[in-house]
Structure formats: C-alpha cells, structure tokens
Amino acid sequence: MATRKQFTEAEHAALYNKYRPKADSKVLDKVINYLKEKKKTLNVAVDVACGSGQGTVGLAPHFKKVIGYDISTAQINEGRRTTKAENVEYDVADAENIPLPDNSVDLVTCSQAAHWFDFGAFFREVDRILTPNGVLAVYSRGDYVLVHQDADVGKELTKIYKECTWKTLAAYWNDPVHATRQNGYVDLDIPYPDFERVTMECQLDLTLTRLAGFISSFTAYQRFHRENPNDDIFTPLHARFLQALNVQTLPEETIVTTSCPISMMIGRKPDTNL
Ligand SMILES: C[S@@+](CC[C@H](N)C(=O)[O-])C[C@H]1O[C@@H](n2cnc3c(N)ncnc32)[C@H](O)[C@@H]1O
C-alpha cells in the first residue's frame, strides 16, 4: 500500500512532530464523555497510526496506560523522544495487525490516518481488541480556513492559503485517499449499532512561521520539495499574508487564526454479556 512509504524519513517525522497540532480539547472531551457513558474504569487506550503522538498524549490523564502504534519507525522514535507522560508507550505496528490480546482495550482512537488503511481489516482488529462497551473514535481535520475580525481580510487570507496548499502543491496531492478525508469520512463506517457522526469546528492561533511549518509537514509539500529543492514558496507566502493583514511585523510574531471542521465517527462495541 502507498501508506508504507509515508513519513518514513526522520527529517519529515521531526517536522511533523514540531508543527502538527495535538488533539483539540473538544475532541478529547467528546471521546472521553462518550466512553464514560458506559464505562466507569478506564484502563487501556490505544492510538492507532499515532504519528509522533498528536492524538496520543491527551489521553494520558484519563487512562492507566496509553499505547501509540504507527508503521513508521521515524514517527515512533519522535513520539518516544518527546513524550513526557510516564503511562504512554509507543511501538511500531500496523493498523490491520495490532499486537494486543482480544478484549483488552477500552478505547481505540485514530486521528488523521484512517483514510490510509484497509478500513475493513482495521475495524476487525479493533473489534477483536476492544472490551464490551469499548469505543472506537476515528477523526480527521478538514481544510483550514483563516478567520479574521474583518471578514474580507479573512477571505483574502484563506484565498492565499488555498492557493499555496492546493494550486502550488496541486500536482503533489496524488493519493486518492485525500478525497475520503476531505469528504469527512462519509465513505467509511463503524458498523456498531451505537454509532454517531459528529462535526466540530476547532480554532487554533498560529504564527505565520508555524503555519508555514504546518504546510511543510504535508506529504504533498515533501514531494514538491524533493523535486524542487531550491524553490522557496514560504517567503512570498509570508509577504502576501502580511500585505493582506496590512502589517509590517515579522512572520514569527504575526498571529493568524485558523479554523477547521473535525469530522469524527464514534461507535461502541456492544456488550453481549448482558
Ligand atoms: C497524517 S499522519 C497522522 C498522525 C497523527 N495521528 C496525527 O493526528 O497527526 C498518518 C500516520 O498514519 C501512519 N500510517 C499510515 N498507514 C498506516 C497503517 N496501515 N498502520 C499504521 N500506521 C499507518 C503513518 O505512518 C503516519 O504517521
């Protein structure tokens, strides 16, 4: 599968770790509250395709043990290097072959990655390892828009951002799976009777430097950069943003507000012991 070639380089994993956002508190609240509706004691959570722990570390305060799995050794090394919580561990494993016993996990999460999987095989593994009333939460961000108190400025900032991420990088988004993510996972399904689809709007303030760093962590940008190592797309991008904002500050001290939908599928394994 194409997935096995993604995020394998240490340099890309380090960029990923530096610039990809951690799970939003709205996402964590939804997942934990849903799980607690039918489970009082939370023992083990597993974050599949965890990257370097973006959705993993926020689970730590709620569980005795949290395990992050990813097929990329480089991502796992970054997670181990930078995670401080003592109840979090990381290991290399495939989403379709999770190295845990049957009925041993209260929660499985998957952030920003399920579009890369054989989803049917992944779901069968999840169903095998979840305890009765255990929960699977699969979520992903849609595209950023930039918001501003002056709506026209917000529109202009968004236009500049989209021109960079979609037009400049257009030829490098060549994995069909991105459509599944952009469609908010409507193509995927968790076949449990107790199941919800939720969309949440999440905002994040970023400096222009961090926004450029976020773009640089895209697989599409990494491909573009390999083919065009001398092309600097970020200096003109910063200049356009500063002009639209009508400010003369430095990119590292200029803050913009990003907003994006997070689409989540959340489902509970039936308790057949009842
Ligand atoms: C876009 S990153 C998401 C990382 C992190 N969960 C986040 O929220 O930012 C996708 C991750 O999925 C991993 N991945 C892709 N296919 C996988 C598979 N079949 N099994 C396990 N991990 C996989 C990649 O190595 C990569 O780290």
In a domain, residue 131? The reply is yes
In a domain, residue 273? The reply is no
Rounded to the nearest whole angstrom, what is the distance from the C-alpha of residue 31 to the centroid of ligand 1?
19
Nearest to 122 by CA among 151, 93, 86: 93
In a domain, residue 84? The reply is yes
Tokens of 112: 């920003």
Domain count, the chain: 1
In a domain, residue 274? The reply is no
Q: Is the CB of 55 under 6 A from ligand 1?
A: yes
Q: Is the CB of 71 under 6 A from ligand 1?
A: yes
Residue nearest to atom 16 of ligand 1 (CA): 3
Contact 129, 104 (CB under 8 A): yes
The proportion of the chain whose per-residue pLDDT surpasses 70, expressed as a percent, equals: 97
For residue 261, with 0-12 CB atoms within 10 Å meaning exposed, 13-18 middle and 19 or more buried, which class applies? middle
The proportion of the chain whose per-residue pLDDT surpasses 90, expressed as a percent, equals: 89
pLDDT tens by residue, 29-77? 999 999 999 999 999 999 999 999 999 999 999 999 999 999 999 999 9
Contact 235, 123 (CB under 8 A): no
pLDDT tens by residue, 230-246? 999 999 999 999 999 99
Rounded to the nearest whole angstrom, what is the distance from the C-alpha of residue 50 to the centroid of ligand 1?
6
Determine the pLDDT at residue 2. Answer: 39
Determine the pLDDT at residue 10. Answer: 86
Contact 101, 36 (CB under 8 A): no
In a domain, residue 46? The reply is yes
pLDDT tens by residue, 112-126? 999 999 999 999 999
Contact 91, 99 (CB under 8 A): yes
Please name the residue ranges forming H helices in the chain: 10-19, 25-36, 73-82, 119-129, 151-162, 177-182, 208-216, 219-227, 234-245
Query: Which of 59-68, 147-156, 162-171 has the least mean pLDDT?
Result: 162-171
Q: Which residues contact 130 (CB under 8 A, 6 or more apart)?
A: 103, 105, 106, 108, 136, 269
In a domain, residue 178? The reply is yes
Q: Which domain holds residue 134?
A: 2-268
CATH code of the domain in which 202 resides: 3.40.50.150
Rounded to the nearest whole angstrom, what is the distance from the C-alpha of residue 51 to the centroid of ligand 1?
5
Determine the pLDDT at residue 4. Answer: 43
In a domain, residue 152? The reply is yes
Determine the pLDDT at residue 56. Answer: 98
Report which residue type is found at 217: S
Determine the pLDDT at residue 3. Answer: 44
In a domain, residue 130? The reply is yes
Q: How confident is the model at residue 105 (pLDDT cuts 50, 70, 90)?
A: very high
CA distance 24 to 141: 10
